[in-house]
Amino acid sequence: MLNVTIDGVRVEAHEGETILSAARRAGADIPTLCWMKDINEIGSCRVCVVEVEGQDGLAAACNAPVFDGMSVRTKSPRIVEARRFSVKTILSKHRGECTTCKRSGTCALQSLASSLNVGELEREPDYRREAWDGSFPLQRDASKCISCLRCVAECSKVQHCSVWDFSGSAGQRSVGVKESLSIDVAKCALCGQCITHCPTGALTERDDIDKVLAALADPDVLTVVQVAPAIRTA
């Protein structure tokens, strides 16, 4: 076992364990946004940054492994400022307009911005605009996507559908339907799990989802109807 100190609290950790995992055992409260345990530990949003004694830069707690004798601070003015910077960077590419967003009140980004006291940005955000098939039960708004890849990970690693994919590297990533297919031919199972795991309003269901699913209620599309409740709980 490895000995690690988090905010002065000593905990044992195992080889390969992340700072985030050990820190939670020590009672530390580190925010996360892109992270999903075991399936999306890409360290992209950097809202989980912490200070590691002896290191100049900040570490992403969600994917930096612990080492024996490591001492970590999860709270300091520098950390708060870095997290605020990360959230502002994300917001600079996100169409806010929270008051009209379906996810207002349940949006992880909105909640994080509020807890870090990040208000209006100095510049208008520069977000993506993409057309979407409004007749499909699942709706995607690219202007709200923060490229956290949670939908990609959930769809490919858990649901084994791989409807979503991304292109570009860190900072320039964009998410879309795999191979730029139209969503209606991408073999989406309508499980709703990408909606559930999307931290913003980028993925939602149609407002009239019940009507849409009722119209689909014939034996040929029984699978769609059976999995529909997963969408409604998103």
Q: Which residues bind ligand FES (CB under 6 A)?
A: 32-35, 43-48, 60, 62
CB of 40 to ligand FES, least distance (A): 9
Q: Are 174 and 166 in contact (CB under 8 A)?
A: yes
CB of 231 to ligand FES, least distance (A): 25
- Considering only CA atoms, which of 124, 126, 106, 216 is closest in space to residue 171? 126
CB of 8 to ligand FES, least distance (A): 22
Cβ nearer to ligand FES, comparing 19 with 195: 19
Cβ nearer to ligand FES, comparing 83 with 144: 83
Cβ nearer to ligand FES, comparing 82 with 186: 82
- Distance linking the first and last C-alpha atoms of the chain: 39
DSSP 188: -
CB of 54 to ligand FES, least distance (A): 21
The angle, 0 to 180 degrees and rounded to 10, between the axes of the packed helices 108-115 and 77-91 is 140
Cβ nearer to ligand FES, comparing 47 with 177: 47
CB of 32 to ligand FES, least distance (A): 4
Cβ nearer to ligand FES, comparing 46 with 95: 46
How many C-beta atoms surround the C-beta of residue 101 within 10 A?
19
CB of 91 to ligand FES, least distance (A): 15
Cβ nearer to ligand FES, comparing 4 with 60: 60
- Considering only CA atoms, which of 22, 21, 20 is closest in space to residue 10? 22
Question: Exposure pattern of 105-131 as b/e (b: 16+ CB <10 Å)?
Answer: eebbbbebbeebebeeeeeeeebbeee
Cβ nearer to ligand FES, comparing 76 with 226: 76
- Considering only CA atoms, which of 25, 96, 19, 95 is closest in space to residue 55? 19
CB of 211 to ligand FES, least distance (A): 37
SS3 209: helix
SS3 65: strand
